Amino acid sequence: MSYVLLFAAAFVAFSISAVCGGGAGLLLIPVLGVFMTVSHVPAALTIGTATSSLSRLLVFSKDVQWGMTTRFVPASLVGAVIGAELLAYMEPMYVELCMGLFLVSNLPDLLRRQIKSDLQTNPMSGLAILAIGTMAGIISALTGAVGVLFNRFYMRCGLGPQEIVATRAANEILLHVFKLFLYTQLNLFSQKAVVIGLVVALAAALSSRCMRLILPKISTEIFVRIGLSTMIIIGVMMLNSAVIHIRMAADPNIRINHLAEDTEATVTWKKLVYAFEFNYGEGPEIEKVIPLSSLSIAQQEHVSSLVDNYDYVIVEKVYSFTGTYYEANFFGPDGQPIKKVDFN
């Protein structure tokens, strides 16, 4: 039953993406996250998006703008190599957060009255196409999909609905195949990822056949508005998904304390603790909790000599407008603060 629901969700996602110029991959990222770990989502998703691009290329082959494709594809392959290497250093959830913010930022454009004339301008320069192709490859390798993220690029080149769908498919088919090779080399495929990818691929192929009858009947004005609307909706979904994953991984927490002369906000991120303190007489300060062992031997001996009897000490490095110094907070056996001392 779960695979039936996945097939239905993928079919709807790819059908919507055909109408609005993309976005199936981004729609499916949070869905696939329910079936597998986040690190395996790009590989499974690429199987489906590669099939979708191939089927759309076959269906709308007469509408491909090959002049754009010859510049876009080589740059995207270089970007895919860079993005695949960055997978070892970057968390996909932070990339997802940035993409969500970017997509939601398109809301002012959607609210414009003359949206068609605002977005359709002269074709971009060859250098701009190379830069955008490289960025598309990087993001696609990191997340498994680019979708509507670069929809505005195609709109500003003055392409119609069928030309956008066809040219995107031509630009991305080789990129997706290349990513499959990279993911294989990085051991990001599992048996479950392959099965889920094939289910998504079947839904993508069937969707392309059905959309062949619908897409020619949609005007450019409606196509652009649907595209922007989808970008915003997907952006909200990605922000929600990113926030959930970040909360699970980093367990962020913010605590605000109001004292007589100070206001302190403490931010916890994983095992790191930062405090932002505002003293009405001294101004703002940033405090970071550090281990006692990070201090020099002389500083450690100085801290130990400040108080005779204490259970434990918390050392903070303080950044202020007047300079940088350290703060030692001593606590008794009952956890009550005993003394706070500043030192250099």
β-strand pairing of 283-290 with 312-320: antiparallel
Residues 6+ apart with CB under 8 A from 244: none
The position carrying tokens 């303080």 is 318
Angle in degrees, CA 307, 312, 317, rounded to 5: 85
Is the separation of the CB atoms in 139 and 102 below 8 Å?
A: no
**CA of 337: how far to CAs of 256, 308, 314, 340, 342, in Å?**
18, 14, 10, 8, 15
Query: Which parts of the chain have pLDDT scores under 70?
Result: 1, 20-23, 26, 88, 113-124, 143-149, 151, 250-283
Residue 324 pLDDT: 86
Residue 43 pLDDT: 81
Residue 112 pLDDT: 74
Is the separation of the CB atoms in 224 and 15 below 8 Å?
A: no
Residue 144 pLDDT: 59
Residues 6+ apart with CB under 8 A from 168: 21, 22, 53, 56, 154
Residue 114 pLDDT: 64
Residue type, 343: F
Residue 157 CA to residue 122 CA, distance in Å, equals 6
Residue 142 CA to residue 242 CA, distance in Å, equals 14
Residue 115 pLDDT: 60
Its pTM stands at 0.55
Residue 117 pLDDT: 47
Would you tell me how many other CB atoms lie within 10 Å of the CB of residue 141? 26
